[in-house]
Structure 1
């Protein structure tokens, strides 16, 4: 024990000589050496504070928050800690600590809006339904199988969140969406009510084969005019639920099995799964009992109007 203490004392005494030797090797004065040493310690201390702030911010707003948003979030906290830090420097710190957000894999494209078919106006922007079968939203999502991608077309009632019609097959032809719409029309409970059909500007939904059939059956057509994540929020939320809660995101063996899984998933979703947005009722129950105030998925405070048709 005494030997260890003696060794520590000797090392402590030798530190000034080591620093002086280092200063001489780099051709700088002792004062400049200590100034650089102090600056380096301050830099390391500030970086530790920045890393702490980054962690707290991501725990609060999301673990996938990127560098640009982080910089905006942290501006005030950095000023309070008297830390001058540019965005490039923040990116370097994140990179050095392996905290940069990786780019997510590109999603499979299911919408082709580059066509010459007529595109309808948006009739439902910033508006919400007040009853079942007042507004239907449609979408196409992909299902992976061992023999390639399959595609699932959905027609959903925006008020009750009930999936009214669907079709899964190994193609994205117009017939896929048309068959889903035909099923939805057969499942209507209020056929005498006016109904808006809302979709993106994909070629399937703009195809005259589809639009003429919809209008012959009394549907008013509405389409997104520009990208807005809230305009098709109901369809996107249902896609995510079906995939992540009922196994449709997995690599399924073939189309036939995918169709059986989809049928079972949609039955559970419509008749058994209680929804927070429906006050813990099922979509089918709400569809038959028109007594629930509509809850929008929109997170901001923008005032929404009621549909009046």
Structure 2
């Protein structure tokens, strides 16, 4: 059985949910192997985390010499790991950084590239939402080893015990790849909420909030959800750009997306159209958002969302 490499998505060695999703998808294609680029000391802990999801091997690439550099070293590391192996595919969690890594890697190994897939079938056929969510496309790489980035929440993680054998892999990174260095980073303040692009539930607010995101945030906290915002809300200064959902913001694909006071312009729809279930609350019954929802409520979000939050708390008592 051909091997499938899955790049581990982690924060300081703590494995994140998209990795488990990709390992689940990888089992459709071949034998999953995780690739951890991080601290060598964390390798065994990562292996313990991923082997319940089918990882047969865990390649550990020590990043001590490259962690302060941009994406080029990661692409070179994956290129060297992929060399002379019988691979069915290389899967990466879809993020701005990983899409650049995937693009560089595909060029280096002479393979086709597919980004932002929302499904991958056993034969390697992928499903994508393209052109601002206006079309659904199925595609398949026909040259080389498929390099595919997959959006978070595209599959439910399913456990399947793997060996999780830790295999250190030494790489040699060129000086050219290390030419750009990160001089400083500023960690974002913790909110206690899940990461927007990885959250299973997202509650977003738009112009209809009037700048009061209290009802949106309280509902999100009741659901254990992330908070998002439309471009109109961000442009008005009500919320930071880091939570903007849309074509010029972040793309999300949660199991549940709740839109409060969002009209549903194409710019916003492009960032959330692949959500599994969409619920909208808007006073305007003609709002475009109602064209794509599973459940719609015509009403004032400042009344509807608090009532929903109260009902959730009531049922949890």
TM bucket normalised to smaller: under 0.3
The normalised TM-score by structure 2 is: 0.25
Question: Is the helix fraction higher in 1 or 2?
Answer: 1
Indicate the structure (1 or 2) with the bigger Cα radius of gyration: 1
Question: Is the strand fraction higher in 1 or 2?
Answer: 2
The normalised TM-score by structure 1 is: 0.25
